[in-house]
Chain A
Amino acid sequence: MRTLAVDREGPSVTAYRFRLYVLGETARTETAVQQLRALCASRGCAPCDIEVVDVHAHPEVADEARIVATPTLDRIAPAPLVRVIGDLASDQLAMALELPPPRPQTSAGG
């Protein structure tokens, strides 16, 4: 299991997993993914796994997850689930997703 690989001496590594629900892939989707990756990097959230689900092609997934609006971003891991609907500025997004504070050596924001 993955936890066994964690270096006991170092700080425990939290794996971040996100799922982004969109309605049809657009340029906006790509922007959102890049914003999130940059944000994760700046907050030291690695590994960071982002899955994009097009609910137009997979309405059953939207049913299951009760998606009413797009874009909807779920932080699936670490538990518990956190959901963000629509766009937020990076700082607000980081706060909503409960990401760690920015590392001193990187500039804040994305």
Chain B
Amino acid sequence: MSDVHDDRVLPRLATGIRGFDDVSYGGLPAGSSTVVTGTVGSGKTVFALQFLAEGIHRFDQPGVFVTFGEPAEKMRRFVVEFGWDVPGWEQEGRWAFVDATTGVEDAPVVVGERYDLNVLLHRITTAVQRTGARRVSLDAMGVLLDRFGDVDAVRDVVVRTTAELDRLGVTTVITVGRDDDRFRSAVGVEERVADNVVILRNTPVEESRRRTLEVLKLRGTRHRQGEFPFAISREHGMVVIPLTVRLDQPVTSQRISSGIEELDAMTGGGLFQSSVTLVSGSTGTGKTNLGMHFALAGAAAGEPVVVVGFEESREQVLRGIAGWRHDAAALEASGQLRFLIDYPEVRTFEQHLVRIQAAADDIGARRVVLDSLTSLRRSGPARSFDEFALGLTAYLKDRGIAGLLTTGQASLVGQEVRATQEHVSALSDTIILLRYAEVYGEIRRVLAVLKHRGSSHDKAIREITIDRDGLRVGAPLRTTTGIMSGRTSQLDSAESTRVTEMFDDG
């Protein structure tokens, strides 16, 4: 899959729905109609509302929302949940509802014969002209056929309305129920009405639900294939997760400090700015410590940092690093350091990702620490977790943020590689292992840099100590082998020197 944009595509209208404009290569084809289809509760109406809200909010493009399913009054109450000031926009003449629900509260409506639905077209075009709308949403249009049995009349008004909106240069979103087959085939939605089709899904997976968006076609032009997860939250509305790590991203050679001098030396001068470091270790080996060194070094150097924690409370984290060289509380107060501490289970993976991205964007983060992937992993389906890891990595790369992710290990010694770890490992530029090792009958902690993309690094396994000032990296354990396998044995010094020289980068 290439990320190169096709220059021949029709002009696009950026929706402003985060992530959607990435997967559609720039948004919806401008001045045409797009059918957004999905089952009940799949997020169609949110898409239709947000399409207009982002248009006004980000691009100053007025919009008209035509509601067939729910009365405008109910929609007004609904949008408040997302923080969109629709009533204010209505007053300013930038947002208009066209309430096409036919009914009158609780009043019986009798439908006879020989009616004409063109008044609908007239009301919509009047509203478009009054507001100067660039965007129109036609929400739950399939309801028309439930209310009016006259297929010809319904088809006629749907086709004429979308044609007229196209003629006016308006970009239109039409939501239609996935199971509304009768409307789709009777009207010929995909043949006569819209060249563009987006499918929203909300499917159960391992006792949770997985929301995805798929761009099925965009007027025969290019867009990304496949399903992309998305989240809906009150704070951010709908956010689509593009899931593609841009490999054409310029590789930065800028080094940054890990916060531990010896580790900087081991990595040939520090970590790289736009890189992801994976720190793997079992409990108590110093993963959180290492992560906090990395965080505080950044925050103290004027590089804003978001620390995402799923293991300890904010107080526990602060207590653990009290007395270190950098004052975490002061850095937090100054806005250089932000904690996002949460129970993994309170949000879906997609919502976690959206929240992390929002916090990082908010403070212009240069570093993000996540502790740990393992605790997060337990809270949802494996596939969604993989997508979270991919989505987070893609985001960090896209923003040029240095990331440090920790991952646990079930067994205390030795190596254990699981599928999810393999997945994350492949996405990481640098991998640091923290392990317990038995050395002459004592348990020691050790650190090794397993992988360091873009630079040579110290291959030695070094002992680490953790004290009140934090984590320190000491001398190589030249006389112990088998740490990685968990079966250590001690060598006499002559043999160890010889073995070391064989693999020395020197």
A positions within 8 Å CB-CB of B:
21, 23, 55-56, 59, 62-63, 65-72, 74, 80-88, 92-93, 96
Judge whether A68 and B120 touch: CB under 8 Å: yes
Tally of contact residues, B, Cβ under 8 A: 31
Q: Of the listed stretches B97-105, B249-257, B336-344, B346-354, name the one at the interface; the rest are far from the partner chain.
A: B97-105
**Minimum CB–CB distance for A77 against chain B, Å:** 13
> For window 86-141 of chain B, which residues contact chain A by CB distance below 8 Å?
98-104, 106-120, 122-123, 126-127
Question: Are A85 and B118 CB-contacts (below 8 A) given A66-B104, A68-B102?
Answer: no
CA distance A82 to B103 in the complex (A): 10
Report the tally of A-B residue pairs with Cβ distances under 8 A.
Answer: 95
A87: chain B residues within 8 A (beta carbon): 112-115
B residues in contact (CB < 8 Å) with A = 71, 98-104, 106-120, 122-123, 126-127, 144, 147-148, 153
Give the residue of B111, B120, B126 whose beta carbon is less than 8 angstroms from that of A85: B111
Q: A84-B112, A87-B113, A92-B112 are in contact. Are A67 and B107 (CB under 8 A)?
A: no
Residues B107 and A69 in contact, CB atoms below 8 Å apart: no
**In the assembled complex, which residues on chain A have CB atoms less than 8 Å from the CB atom of B116?**
23, 69-70
CB atoms of A70 and B119 under 8 A apart: yes
B109 near A85 with CB under 8 A, answer yes
B111 touches A63 (CB 8 A): no
Residues of chain A contacted by B148 (CB below 8 angstroms): 69, 85
Q: Given known contacts A68-B117, A69-B117, is B122 in contact with A55 (CB within 8 Å)?
A: yes
Query: Separation in Å of the A65 CB from the closest CB of chain B?
Result: 8
On whether the beta carbons of A63 and B119 are closer than 8 Å, the reply is: no
Shortest CB–CB separation between residue B123 and chain A, in angstroms?
5
B111 to chain A, nearest CB (A): 5
**Chain B neighbourhood of A83, CB < 8 A:** 103-104, 107-110
Q: How far is the CB of A31 from chain B (nearest CB, A)?
A: 11
CA of A21 to CA of B123 in the docked complex: distance in angstroms? 13
Q: Please tell me if the beta carbons of B119 and A62 are within 8 angstroms of each other in the complex.
A: yes
Contact A88 B107 (CB under 8 A): no
- Which 4 A-B residue pairings sit nearest by Cβ, starting from the closest? A86-B115, A86-B112, A88-B112, A96-B110
A60 to B103, CA, bound (A): 16
B71 partner residues in chain A, CB cutoff 8 A: 66
Pick from B99, B112, B115: contact of A66, CB under 8 Å:
B99
Identify which of A65, A69, A85 gathers the most chain B CB atoms within 10 Å of its CB.
A69
Given A63-B99, A66-B101, verify A85-B112 contact (CB < 8 Å): yes
- What are the residues of chain B within 8 A of A55 when measuring CB–CB? 119, 122-123
Contact A23 B102 (CB under 8 A): no
> Which of B113, B119, B126 is within 8 Å of A68, CB to CB?
B119
Complex interface: chain B residues within 8 A of A59 (CB): 122-123, 126
